[in-house]
Amino acid sequence: MIRIENLHKRFGGLEVIRGIDLHVTPGEVVCIIGPSGSGKSTVLRCINRLEEITAGRIIVDGSDITDPKTNINQVRAEAGMVFQQFNLFPHMTVLQNVTLGPVKVRRMKRAAADTLGRELLAKVGLAEKTGSYPDQLSGGQKQRVAIARSLALQPKVMLFDEPTSALDPELVGEVLEVMKRLAAEGMTMVVVTHEMGFAREVADRVIFIDQGVIQEEGPPKAFFSNPRNPRLKDFLGRVVANL
């Protein structure tokens, strides 16, 4: 579904990603963890070309996104993105936020898009909020709208960039719950997160990125109970100490 080969990314003189290979298969849930500034969000943002890559190759659902002939808008519609800061459109109602993509990108009829939008909002538990504006919602509700907005394009893969990091602690659970259900339905997901509990419970594979490279990866059980890489040990030690 996603194949990343020898990815490099440089911001000015700073090489943030220094050679990453990653292969995500359909239906797989991959969690990426690592200290801040390690490059984990950048990897995610490269996948739908919100960041231009410096070197390497990224193939999403069969399309080489670095190829100038690829229609990047089509690829982006296949890869839903959920942001840490939600980035809902404040001038639109919740339903309009969700239906904009289907109507403008998928050329869906307004009525069909509204039906789809209502279904998805019901699915994330916000059926009664269709007419509200984003600033009338809590953080957790905003993030669930953002998830519905991405799902409305019926993407093949969902990318989550620290989806719960901007939330008050008591609102984290409702968002993770929606993500768990998505995973259970077989959605391919790449999740950059600090929620170790979520990674342990939901991920098929956990990846630890530090200093721009993958330091360790594996199924969550072995990954968390028996980390080999000293940096990962150190990182997990600090994360647990903070809990």
Partner 1 sequence: MGFKFQWGVVLETFPLLLSGVKLTIIITIGGLLFGFVLGVATGLMKLSRSLPVRSLAGAYVEAIRGTPLIVQVMFLYFGVPMAVGLRIRPMTAGIIAIAVNSGAYIAEIVRGAVQSIDPGQIEAGRSIGLTRAQTMRYIIWPQAFRRMIPPLGNQFIISLKDTSLLVVIGVAELTRVGQEIIAVNFRAFEVWLTVGIVYLMMTLTIARFLRMAEDRLAQRGKR
Positions that interact with partner 1 (CB under 8 A): 48, 50, 73-74, 76-77, 79-81, 83, 85, 87-93, 100-101, 104-105, 133, 135-136, 146, 149-150, 152-153
Our CB check for partner 1 shows the closer of 92 and 196 to be 92
Closest-CA residue to 173 (of 153, 201, 151, 150) = 201
Nearer to partner 1, 69 or 91 (CB): 91
Q: Which is nearer to partner 1, 161 or 174 (CB)?
A: 161
Handedness of CA 191, 177, 103, 134 (dihedral sign): negative
| Residue 130 vs 215, nearer CB to partner 1 | 130
Q: Which is nearer to partner 1, 31 or 79 (CB)?
A: 79
Q: Supply the minimum distance, in Å, between the C-beta of residue 183 and partner 1.
A: 20
For the CB of residue 175, give the shortest distance to partner 1 in the complex, in Å. Answer: 17
Min CB(243)–partner 1 separation in Å:
29
Strand 14-24 and strand 2-11: pairing?
antiparallel
How far is Cα 155 from Cα 177, in angstroms, rounded to an integer? 19
d(CA 240, CA 36): 16
Instruction: Concatenate the DSSP letters of all residues of 71-124 into one string.
Output: -HHHHHHHEEEE-TT----TTS-HHHHHHHHHHHTS---HHHHHHHHHHHHHHT
The encoded tokens of residue 207 equal: 């990846």
R_g (Cα) of the chain, nearest Å: 18
The nearest distance, CB 239 to partner 1, in angstroms, is: 26
- Residue 51 CB, nearest approach to partner 1 (Å): 10
Shortest distance in whole angstroms from residue 148 CB to partner 1: 11
The smaller minimum CB distance to partner 1, of residues 71 and 115, is found at 71
What DSSP element (H or E) covers 242? helix 230-242
**52 Cβ partners below 8 Å, 6+ apart?**
none
DSSP 190: E
Closer to partner 1 at the Cβ: 46 or 214? 46
Q: Cβ 70 to partner 1, closest distance in Å?
A: 13
Biggest distance spanned by C-alpha atoms of the chain: 55
